[in-house]
Amino acid sequence: MRKCLSISLLALMLITTAGCSHQHEQEWNARLESAEDNAATARLHADEAYLKAEQAQQAADEANQRTRPTAPKVSPHR
């Protein structure tokens, strides 16, 4: 009888521990998913900033080309 009670108590402890472990795993999965979402958002913002910087650089290059004085063409004397 005593042995049966010990085994039952051990089984009950294992069952309750498994439930806590499952809840702990769910919490970690939620945290991991949140971190992955945050990383994806950060990558998206970085890509957008990079694209805007490229566009600004291209606009600056074009503006520099328009404002750069052109050198007079020299015709060779023969």
15-37, pLDDT tens digit by residue? 776 666 778 889 999 999 999 99
Residues 53-73 as b or e (16 or more Cβ within 10 Å = b): eeeeeeeeeeeeeeeeeeeee
69 has a pLDDT exceeding 80: no
The DSSP code sequence of 17-61 is: HHHHHHHHHHHHHHHHHHHHHHHHHHHHHHHHHHHHHHHHHHHHH
Enter the pTM of the model. 0.55
Both structure tokens of 77: 């004397």
